[in-house]
Amino acid sequence: MERRKKNNEIKVKMTGIKKVFAGISVLDNVDFELRKGEIHALMGENGAGKSTLMRVLSGVYQAEEGEIFINGEKKNMRSPKDGIDNGVSVIWQEFSLMPDLSVAENILLDDLNSGKKIINWQKFYKRARAILDDLGYQNINERARIGELSTSQQQVVEICKALSRKANVLVLDEPTALLATQEVKKLFEILKQLKEQGSSIVYISHRLDEIFELSDRITVLKDGMLAGTVSTKEVDEESLMLMMVGRKPSELFSERVARIGDVTVKAEKLCRGKKVRNISFEARSGEVLGMYGLVGAGRTETVRLLFGADKKDAGEIYINGEKAKIDSPKDALRYKLGLLAEDRKHQGVLLDMAIRITSTLSSLKGYTSRFGKILFVKEAEAVKKICTSLNLKYNNINQHVSELSGGNQQKVALSKLLLSDCEILLLDEPTRGVDVGAKIEIFGLINQLAESGKTLIVISSEMMELIGLCDRVIVIHEGKVMASLDKKDITEENLIKYSMGVTV
Ligand SMILES: Nc1ncnc2c1ncn2[C@@H]1O[C@H](COP(=O)(O)OP(=O)(O)OP(=O)(O)O)[C@@H](O)[C@H]1O
Ligand SMILES: [Mg+2]
């Protein structure tokens, strides 16, 4: 294949794009240009319009104004099919897989929809197998049902589906938020290879390290407008943040006066299959306990056992010194345990409900009168307050959560928990998909909650987060606790070492 090291040929050009929802302009006069053989990063705060711009490019939404050119030809993108026909393939921020179909059926869904009556299933599965193998994902069974896979593996299938279309414009909307480290590495190799072969790639992410590793150019959106397009070589983190947020970033972590009290939650020899093997730990009131480990190490599974979301095979849970019987999330709520789940689409937020309702759902008691009437004004005030503190981008609190941007949905899921009267909060990747500004707010809230005496257990894959936030971190590897690190020992070196399975 012909190598194109330097090529300024323009593949996609979007000019003067305007998109309006309910009278509010979400994209305003946006220009965007994608070259052949380029990885172009798209950045900006939650709700800035990144996903919307790509929905316009791929035909999911139609713009009110503006033009799209592909290979210099003006295009009318009226439906997602137009997008695919023009070689634009998208890996969306939210899963679009069919949980009851097999891996192969999902990857080759276009074939199933093509109207062909007879399908040679043997060949069909073989083709899916070849795609998975080609991309280096040998460990995924093409016949497995999507519902049986881990979140990370589902994301891999999503990627394979998009790549199987052999599109020459590939859009990835925060693809790594749910991927295991190993799989991120593989994905990056694939993307670099595709670029060498002349594909054009749009990469959306809030992670600066990824942007600097991958991209040739960066376009920043701010409040639906173009803040600028720059060459990655010519910018540093600070100038990028300035473009995105409009001000210099404040300190990521604020100081917290830790007043650590009694043990509130104690897990003793928790077991579930191969994922959780004899996990024991304690957390205290006023403490932020971190859980580190590679994706798939068993962190999510452990907190799901604490919350009663899965059934444990063995082990005990003690709350405030007493043996607790937690067999369901309902039991957990009785013990004032709350969980922010990893996969917000299926567990965290109820997408079809209004922001107002989802936020207060687990704390309705506090907003109900003695006679069972909901105190709407009081409820609305509480919701508005927390939405403001997290800088949630929304029109009104009766808006459906599904209309919010991905990062803002995460904020709603979090506010639901923060408004509840839970004393022990289990947060699984609380800052996934949220922008830098909101991260600072979330860390601030976590600190406040700890100061007020609550217990926080935080799972994160970002080491800096745990180092800045936690009083103690336990490191999990293949379902076992490898180390419990005190504040002074929470270092990158230790986190990496123990997460790889080194024993103390
Ligand atoms: N169908 C819709 N109806 C109403 N508003 C919408 C709809 N889709 C998007 N919006 C609004 O458009 C704005 C931009 O959303 P978009 O999803 O493009 O943001 P984003 O930059 O991708 O953010 P994130 O980083 O959180 O994913 C948001 O304020 C969002 O609420
Ligand atoms: Mg988005």
Say which range, 29-33, 174-178, 279-283, 430-434, has the weakest mean pLDDT.
Answer: 174-178
How far, in Å, is the centroid of ligand 1 from the Cα of 270? 41
Ligand index nearest the alpha carbon of residue 52: 1
In three-state secondary structure terms, 344 is: helix
Report the candidate in 469, 495, 493, 463 with the shortest Cα–Cα distance to residue 482: 495
Question: What is the Cα–Cα distance from 284 to 409, expressed in whole angstroms?
Answer: 30
Give pLDDT, residue 215.
97
* Residue 50 alpha carbon, nearest atom of ligand 1: 21
Question: For residue 371, what are the contacts with CB-CB under 8 A and spacing of at least 6?
Answer: none
Question: What is the Cα–Cα distance from 67 to 17, expressed in whole angstroms?
Answer: 7
> What residues line ligand 1, using a CB cutoff of 6 Å?
21-22, 26, 44, 46-52, 93, 393, 403-408
pLDDT surpassing 80 at residue 131: yes
Give pLDDT, residue 290.
97
pLDDT tens sequence across 393-412: 777 777 777 788 888 888 88
Nearest CA to ligand 1 atom 18: 49
Question: What is the Cα–Cα distance from 31 to 67, expressed in whole angstroms?
Answer: 9
Question: What is the Cα–Cα distance from 365 to 368, expressed in whole angstroms?
Answer: 5
Place of tokens 């506010």: 415
How far, in Å, is the centroid of ligand 2 from the Cα of 307? 29
Give pLDDT, residue 370.
64
* Residue 224 alpha carbon, nearest atom of ligand 1: 14
Ligand index nearest the alpha carbon of residue 407: 1
pLDDT tens sequence across 165-222: 878 899 999 888 777 677 788 889 989 988 998 999 999 998 888 999 999 999 999 9
pLDDT band at 2 (very low <50, low <70, confident <90, very high): very low
Question: What is the Cα–Cα distance from 492 to 140, expressed in whole angstroms?
Answer: 31
State how far the alpha carbon of 454 is from the alpha carbons of 90, 200, 263, 310, in Å: 41, 48, 11, 24
Nearest CA to ligand 1 atom 12: 26
pLDDT band at 353 (very low <50, low <70, confident <90, very high): low
Pocket test for ligand 1, best of 18, 25, 30, 52 (most atoms within 8 A of CB): 52
Question: What is the Cα–Cα distance from 127 to 145, expressed in whole angstroms?
Answer: 17
Question: What's the token pair of residue 89?
Answer: 């393939």
Nearest CA to ligand 1 atom 17: 405
Give pLDDT, residue 250.
63
* Residue 53 alpha carbon, nearest atom of ligand 1: 18
Give pLDDT, residue 335.
95
How far, in Å, is the centroid of ligand 2 from the Cα of 349? 16
pLDDT surpassing 50 at residue 1: no
Taking each helix axis from N to C terminus, what angle separates 376-389 and 406-419, rounded to the nearest 10 degrees?
A: 130
pLDDT band at 473 (very low <50, low <70, confident <90, very high): very high
What integer is the mean pLDDT of 215-243? 93
Pocket test for ligand 1, best of 26, 172, 397, 442 (most atoms within 8 A of CB): 26
State how far the alpha carbon of 413 is from the alpha carbons of 268, 279, 408, in Å: 29, 27, 9
- Report the share of the chain in percent with pLDDT over 70: 89
Question: For residue 149, what are the contacts with CB-CB under 8 A and spacing of at least 6?
Answer: 103, 140, 157
pLDDT band at 235 (very low <50, low <70, confident <90, very high): very high
* Residue 93 alpha carbon, nearest atom of ligand 1: 27
* Residue 45 alpha carbon, nearest atom of ligand 1: 25
User: Do β-strands 480-486 and 472-477 pair in parallel, antiparallel, or remain unpaired?
Assistant: antiparallel
The answer to whether 500 and 477 are in contact (CB under 8 A) is yes
How far, in Å, is the centroid of ligand 1 from the Cα of 447? 29
How far, in Å, is the centroid of ligand 2 from the Cα of 38? 21
Ligand index nearest the alpha carbon of residue 53: 1
Ligand index nearest the alpha carbon of residue 409: 1
* Local structure of residue 12 (DSSP, 8 states): E
How far, in Å, is the centroid of ligand 2 from the Cα of 256? 32
Place of tokens 């600066």: 208
Report the candidate in 97, 67, 108, 61 with the shortest Cα–Cα distance to residue 82: 61
Ligand index nearest the alpha carbon of residue 19: 1
Nearest CA to ligand 1 atom 28: 47
Nearest CA to ligand 1 atom 24: 46
User: Residue 34: enclosing H or E segment and its boundaries?
Assistant: strand 24-35
User: Do β-strands 288-292 and 472-477 pair in parallel, antiparallel, or remain unpaired?
Assistant: parallel
Give pLDDT, residue 4.
47
* Residue 47 alpha carbon, nearest atom of ligand 1: 19
Give pLDDT, residue 75.
95
Count Cβ neighbours within 10 Å for each residue of 303-321 and write b for 16 or more, e otherwise: bbbbbbbbebeebebebee
Question: If you average pLDDT over each of 12-16, 203-207, 490-494, which comes out highest?
Answer: 12-16
The answer to whether 304 and 310 are in contact (CB under 8 A) is yes
Answer with the residue of higher pLDDT: 58 or 381.
58
CA angle (344 as vertex; 62, 91 as ends), nearest 5: 45
How far, in Å, is the centroid of ligand 2 from the Cα of 317? 38
pLDDT surpassing 80 at residue 451: yes
What integer is the mean pLDDT of 67-88? 93
* Residue 206 alpha carbon, nearest atom of ligand 1: 25
Nearest CA to ligand 1 atom 27: 406
Nearest CA to ligand 1 atom 6: 403
pLDDT tens sequence across 88-113: 999 887 777 888 899 999 999 888 87
pLDDT surpassing 70 at residue 69: yes
Taking each helix axis from N to C terminus, what angle separates 436-451 and 237-245, rounded to the nearest 10 degrees?
A: 90
* Residue 55 alpha carbon, nearest atom of ligand 1: 18
Give pLDDT, residue 360.
60
The answer to whether 331 and 339 are in contact (CB under 8 A) is no
Bridge partners for 41 per DSSP: 203, 218
How far, in Å, is the centroid of ligand 1 from the Cα of 155? 21
pLDDT surpassing 90 at residue 42: yes
* Mean pLDDT estimate for the chain: 86
Give pLDDT, residue 466.
93
